[in-house]
Chain A
Amino acid sequence: MLKALSSDQWNYAAAAHLLNRAGFGGAPDEIEKLADLGPDQAVSHLLDYEYIHDATTDPDWAKPNPEELRQFREAVKNAATPEDKKKIQQQQQQLIQRRMQELRGWWLQRMARGPRPFQEKMVLFWHGHFATSFEKVRNPYYMWRQNELFRRLATGNWQELLADAGKDPAMLVWLDQAQSRKDHPNENFAREVMELFSLGEGHYTEHDITEAARALTGWSLEPLGQKYIYRPFFHDNGDKTIFGRTGNFDGDDFIALIVEQPQAARFITSKIWNYFAGQEPSPELNEALAGVFRAGGNNFKPFLRVMFRSEEFYSPDIVRNQVKSPVQWLINSVRVLECDLPPTLVSYGMLRQLGQDLFAPPNVKGWDGGVTWITTNTLLARYNDAQALVEGQLPPLTAGDFARKEGGAGGEKAMKIFQRVRMGGVDVEKILTPEQRASKPTIVAALEHRLFQATLNSEQEQTLREFLDSKTQLSDADIITTIRLMMSTPEYQVT
């Protein structure tokens, strides 16, 4: 199990698979570079991103700002009339929404253009894993901060990540730990950290939850400083019994007890395998993965290196058999087509309609993923969004959807903004050489190579050639429509 893929099996297709899964895919020359590196260096090139300089700067509001908070509270308190108060609160809400939009764009740009795609792919994993929603947290700074935490510990230590994510303000609010007191321990985080984040159902008892909630008391939030604080006064100093062990445990002790459970390694390695490989591991494979993870001191980096080098990861059952998530679909498209990410308003609208609203997963379980991304509606939306991406025109569905949600005047205003938005679209000269463009079969072949790193079936290829044959003078627009047609296939929705 988990034998390293031999160097002679390493080729363009294997490199493409690695880049698609450990990143968001890329243009042919990027894949060729990886193929030339050989498997060890190719994996290292993606995983050892610490050596790659990332010049992204933080949003200017991404810091604790007690003064801003104080002023807002003051203004609400001193409002002359209820109308004034309402107005101040509305302005605050608008500010919050603007910052959230900026945050979405900031992250999407890092995925689409940043120099460390694997790190962002891990951040996306942790976001879905510790599925925390702005809908409850209501604080853009907290959401950004959590996102940065996932980035900092993306491939770090399991125990450190569990503890730090638990103490981070977004999580303290999201699962109510901030409200937990010695007299009334709140069990929400205690339960979910075991059920959804680390062990899975059936690997702890209701009693463990009650006791863990007592251990966790004292983990709290300092609202004005906007950071974690330990409050000894809230903490229950009595003995607790968790997983059959008794002691005066605190929250960190509880997290350490979790990570000691053999199931903890099985649980998280299974979930990571599923995220990157697209299906659940067999029990034998899961045991092997968990073994590697434990041997590496519960650190993710060495485990991931073995995983991405393993024969299993490149088996025919795995390759091109994963439904692209909406984020993967969008970022992958932008990367393979070498075009600009649409403006955040549009990207956000597309993703939301396709079912992946960043910073607002549907619940604490995260996105179900896999085939649940695909409904008749979301599939047609992907096909139509493809047109918007390649032609650089607005997706009619997204505009309509947005207008309906906003309703009335707000909707019309949004529509007007939408109509003014211009997006890059595909530059044909960038993606087809004059030689490739010379004949219809070479056009189809070059585009297949770029979009699928595989060939479509012969009837589909025939259909595309016939489409090109119907044009007397091949224009850029015809080639762009051909790309759109290729993206409007079931095959394009998998990676």
Chain B
Amino acid sequence: MKNEITLQTRREFLRRTVLGSSLAWTVPAFLADTFSALQAEAADSATQIVTGKDAPILVVLQMAGGNDGLNTVVPYANDFYHNARPKIGLKAEDVLKIDDSIGLHGAMKGFKELYDGGQLSIIQGVGYPNPNRSHFRSTEIWQTASDSDRVEKYGWVGRYFDNACPGADPAVGVVIGNQLPESFFAAQPKGIVFNNPQNYRFMANGTATEESYKKLNELEMSSPLPDGGPSMTPDDNSGGSIAMLPAGMPMTGGRAVDFITRTALDAQHSSDEVRAIAARVQNQAVYPGSQLGGSLKLVAKLIGGGLPTRIYYVSQGGYDTHTNQVNSQQRLLGDLGDSVKAFTDDLKAQGNMSRVLVMTFSEFGRRVSENANGGTDHGAAAPMFIVGDKVKAGLLGHYPGLAPEDLFQGDIKYNVDFRSVYAGVLENWLKTPSAPILGRQFTPLPVV
């Protein structure tokens, strides 16, 4: 049954808030593939009516620490490259050749298979103007899709939820981890966070305790709860404004306990569902025993189990290779390739591969020249990977120049703004206008 609920206005939605959303938690329709979307008033606001089963899914994969792009997509025939990296440079025999000048790091057999199968797109030289070399700041720039001299309050995924998925199930965003990444920060926070389905629950010493916990955490019907939670502030992108809040609501938008009550309900409900799916769905591929492998294994189960999720978020750390880079990057990229390959095999066996896109990012690449410790220091532009059945496979863009005159302060110059990649994913994959989410119109890179 396709039961699309279209609300006329945000005001009406808010009028229904507590009752409406708490009912949505309990009616069986919620457990099926349908969830509601809000017909936003603003003409330019992105609106999306989606139905669970066939809707596209994006998996964002963070390679934390700043992956060395040069030793990932390797310009093995380039003399500038070898001059800059006498110790750690990879030679022709070390790489998985893509053409007569570029090859993938030898550990990335999984990615090479995907490449050969037309399921991998490599976007070369991705970055942004005035790059920042701080992990924190550059990660924040990628997470919020901001200009490098601007600090944004909300993340790009959060703004996608605000704009395109109002009224959606909180599991519209799933983070495998412990903390909500900054990209999920939103005017109307959505997204559930957990790292281990077995532990993602209220641990009770007896059924009476469990029952009592559930009752204690039921939404208090008498205290109205604005959808935005306590941090709601006027925001052009939010699709609603403070003026639409119920009368008498303070400008700060409700009490902290209301937000926690909402989260408690999200936790209670999603915990049952996540554990049920994790117990029911079997993986059909063998994953590496790494943290990333475990995360993707879980995501595959959740997709197979039909969780109404648009965006999954997983991460892999360890790319900050200032010293002895060769061994650690070998291990990390091998893990990345094998984990993602297992994930795609699993999804293919499930019959879900065509609805899933994986996008990698890292806060920056590294300097062109190796340092004195067999490693590399913080740099700028680097490649991104996109994996899926429908990707525009192959090399996108062109390899950035490595000649001294092509560099800026020893760093690779970007030739694709990462927000063009986001725009491409938002518009061509998630089918939503990107300008309200990214703050302005970037030319969408045709990634699919």
Chain A residues packing against B (C-beta within 8 Å): 201, 278-279, 317, 320-323, 353, 355, 362-365, 370-372, 374-380, 383-384, 387, 396-397, 400-401, 404, 457, 459-460, 463-464, 466-467, 470, 481, 484-485, 488-491, 493-494
Contacts and interface: CB of A to CB of B under 8 A. Distances in A.
Interface in B102-134: none
Contacts of A380: 194, 200-202, 267, 271
A interface secondary structure, majority: helix
A201 B45 CA distance: 30
A494 B260 contact: yes
B235 to A, nearest CB: 16
A401 B180 CA distance: 17
B421 to A, nearest CB: 24
Given A378-B178, A488-B213, A397 B199 contact: yes
B220 A457 contact: yes
Nearest to A467: B212
B136 A400 contact: no
Contact of B259 (A279, A371, A400, A460): A371
A379 B255 contact: no
B256 interface: yes
A92 B276 CA distance: 46
Contacts of B195: 377, 401, 404
Interface stretch (B5-13, B203-211, B399-407): B203-211
Contact of A490 (B192, B209, B217): B217
B255 A321 contact: yes
Contact of B180 (A279, A375, A460, A493): A375
Given A201-B151, A323-B256, A466-B212, A317 B217 contact: no
23 contacts: A279-B252, A321-B257, A323-B260, A362-B136, A363-B136, A364-B136, A371-B259, A372-B185, A376-B170, A376-B193, A376-B194, A376-B266, A377-B193, A377-B195, A377-B200, A378-B178, A379-B260, A384-B199, A387-B203, A460-B216, A467-B209, A485-B213, A494-B256
Given A380-B194, A380-B201, 15 more contacts: A278-B256, A317-B250, A321-B257, A323-B260, A353-B178, A371-B230, A375-B178, A375-B180, A376-B192, A377-B195, A377-B267, A387-B205, A466-B212, A481-B205, A490-B217
Interface in B321-360: none
A376 B209 contact: no
B314 to A, nearest CB: 14
Interface of B: 135-137, 151, 170, 175, 177-180, 185, 189, 192-196, 199-203, 205-206, 208-209, 212-213, 215-218, 220, 222, 229-231, 250, 252, 255-257, 259-261, 263-264, 266-267, 270-271, 291
- Most A CB within 10 A of own CB, among B137, B189, B202, B264: B264
Given A387-B203, A494-B257, A489 B193 contact: no
A400 B198 CA distance: 10
B299 to A, nearest CB: 16
A279 to B, nearest CB: 6
Given A376-B192, A376-B267, A377-B200, A404 B136 contact: no
A443 to B, nearest CB: 14
B216 A488 contact: yes
B64 to A, nearest CB: 12
B150 to A, nearest CB: 9
